[in-house]
Chain A
């Protein structure tokens, strides 16, 4: 056929252009440091199936999920048309007809063309009419170009078939094209000229699409699956260690990121789901997890440039804004890992000594005294003085449960009462427990996430040595942050402790009938899932079971469980000022609880939450309507006198 040669030329040119446009990425990936992401292939594959085949995360947003699924399936069906279009002319004689190309495949193509146009229509409606805020900062023109190309491809596909039908081909398998054929007829277009015209438009649009993709977010068509396949299978609460091969702890150029971290950048779909859930973004801070990724991606595309990565492409303020709440990673449909990147860049800042005064003070205190408050270690166990009974020193006697209390629970006067309450509950349930007294150090969870790897190692090693010198069966923590460090991060040092949160232990004791509680009258309360208990470590149910066991009715906030909204304290944020914050995440959250309209208590299960939300309630001046109480305050053993809960008006 006469069009074979021109088509070959066109295809080869397009492929060459595509390759040329991908060269920077290809080179970057080829030169990137290694990443160990090849183990457990079946598990990896399974994840890809769930993520892509079932659109699991996508469908959490119903409209986008459904429209994406429509486009996605249509794409596969219409790919048969693409094979046909190129195959038939590149290799004269090739045809899908023997397998049904003129019958059922044709019918599918016909129907899915319409579905595809519907999908694109919905996408246009979403992007230009509904305009969700998560698209802020995404490239609008990129999306528009893609929509135009898709519409061109599908329309030309239909019209080409229509022209053929108008020229006499049987149209009984192509109902939509048949209708269009009638229209073409009436327009007086020559069937043959029409077929040729629409064919070349179709082929041209497909090749244009191909050439366009390397510079577009639609790379994800090719990269989403591999990016999900190579996702991180380590526990969520484990920060990747500094690779041995790296000479300095941190990263200050894109090329130092391993290939998976770089692949992440190329896979971003700009969907903005991460931005929509980010507490730092909501607080008005200069951090959008989406822009974090796309800014680095654009820098990668631009090639080696004059602007440094840290402090240039990504500003210091951006890096320090993150609370490490992990909400972004939780929702990302293509499993992009924002946090390891942020932490690696923070490691660079810390190593250079570029930290804010507040953070510097906290870190210096931690270096000197093992707690961020700058309090003497001797005062760590002072809260035990006001208990009516002595607490065992786990360094001297064997215990069943080694209680790792944590900084806030030990030192903050607002939390000490809760700490004592936990001690009383354990005693009431007959638990044999002890603490480390002044040998305990901050767990280092947030120190590590603030990028201070060296100090984290010092703190962790000191705790591990102390813990290893004790005889115990299990470790219990008050603070979800310590829980995470002891359970996950300490694995780096070969420590494998059985660690559980106090809510888990208390729930266990109640189930085992060891703790008999006063039962309240069903008052409605809401519960805030702490990031490091819930999202990081899956502790969603025990706290809820405790609330029920104490006789309260739980009214969850819209953002609960995996979607819980961070209080704003994590990752070292609690040590920094809040310059630039337009609405504190903790206040945003209290407003959410208030909007439930019928809850008296805001129940928390993390010492930092008690502090953050008490301050938020002070700041909003709503102490009369909502009280922050720790779960432990709801639990009153029957053996003790019923305590009076603070009353609030609702």
Chain B
């Protein structure tokens, strides 16, 4: 089985986000980038599938710091690693890159494309369904367990309120991973050093084929940023306020 796993680099979730001067993007210059957590799980699931039944895993990374993450992927067991070129200093829109991923899936004769179910920059839509639709392959998002039996896949999906649904589908397919069957493994510093010699392939992007979804007019920070609103010390008024705050979010009941 050939597995293609997509690794997207996104702004560090611990970092403070600041708006760029045009107000339409975030200032990426001072940001640390990290692997999208869900993609990390997708990579782990790919390696677990390889360990369980044999597979060739190709990891493709997009964004700043892609090389570092690809070395990590190689240390974890990816057989081939490719960096997909992208526009510098721009957010990674899954809608934009879907065509490139689909093309690569064909080029690598992938049977399975794995990626994280979401990323923090996918406002214009999620990668797995885009790629699935472009290839006309079945896709399932929110996977938290994948078992391959030949070309037949059993995928368990996490739905709200703890409901879990298991599906069966045949490869080729695209899966959006929520959590890997096992937590992503740790790679030691010495393994990373070894893997730093792995050759990294390059791929140039395909034109997206889809129109731009929309224009971002402005970005803003939510009002209740870090430190929040003080509701005061009177239990009665606090309770009144809380009831209305909760009700507005549909949470004033069970």
Contacts and interface: CB of A to CB of B under 8 A. Distances in A.
B14 A351 contact: no
Contacts of B152: none
Interface of A: 248-249, 350-351, 353, 355, 357, 359-360, 363-364, 367-369, 374-378, 452-458
Interface in B172-231: 183, 185-193
Interface in B1-47: 12, 14-16, 30, 32, 34
Contact of B190 (A249, A355, A369, A377): A249
Contacts of B186: 350, 353, 355, 359-360, 363-364
A623 B14 CA distance: 32
B238 to A, nearest CB: 26
Contacts of B12: 368-369, 376
B14 A376 contact: yes
A458 B34 contact: no
Nearest to B35: A368
A452 B189 contact: yes
Secondary structure class of chain B's binding surface, majority of residues? loop
A453 B190 contact: yes
Given A353-B185, A357-B183, A378 B190 contact: no
Contact of A353 (B14, B32, B188, B193): B188
Contacts of B30: 378
A249 B188 contact: yes
Nearest to A363: B186
Nearest to B75: A353
9 contacts: A351-B188, A351-B191, A353-B187, A355-B186, A369-B32, A376-B12, A453-B188, A454-B188, A455-B189
B189 A454 contact: yes
Given A351-B188, A368-B32, A376-B15, 7 more contacts: A353-B188, A355-B186, A374-B14, A452-B188, A453-B188, A453-B189, A457-B189
* Chain A interface main SS type: helix
A338 B33 CA distance: 40
Contacts of A363: 186
Interface string B70-98: 00000000000000000000000000000
A117 to B, nearest CB: 57
Contacts, number: 52
Nearest to B32: A376
Contact of B191 (A369, A375, A454): A454
B230 to A, nearest CB: 20
Interface centre among A374, A376, A377, A458 (most CB of B within 10 A): A376
Contacts of B16: 376
Contacts of B188: 249, 350-351, 353, 452-455
Contact of B193 (A248, A350, A378, A454): A454
B161 to A, nearest CB: 25
Contacts of B187: 353
Q: Which 8 A-B pairs have the closest CB atoms?
A: A454-B189, A454-B190, A455-B189, A353-B185, A353-B186, A360-B186, A351-B188, A350-B188
A588 B171 CA distance: 58
Contacts of B190: 248-249, 351, 453-454
Given A375-B14, A376-B14, A376-B15, A368 B189 contact: no
Given A369-B32, A376-B12, A376-B32, A456 B185 contact: no
Nearest to B187: A353
Nearest to A375: B14
Nearest to A368: B34
Contacts of B34: 368
Nearest to A447: B189
Question: Which of A377, A454, A458 has the most chain B CB atoms closer than 10 A to its own CB?
Answer: A454
Nearest to A373: B14
Contacts of B192: 367, 454
Contacts of A456: 189
A385 to B, nearest CB: 14
A368 B187 CA distance: 12
A350 B34 CA distance: 22
Contacts of A353: 185-188
Contacts of A374: 14
A337 B110 CA distance: 53
Contacts of A367: 189, 192
A363 B190 CA distance: 13
B183 A458 contact: no
Contacts of A453: 188-190
A363 B187 CA distance: 10
Nearest to B16: A376
A140 B24 CA distance: 76
Contacts of B185: 353
A485 to B, nearest CB: 15
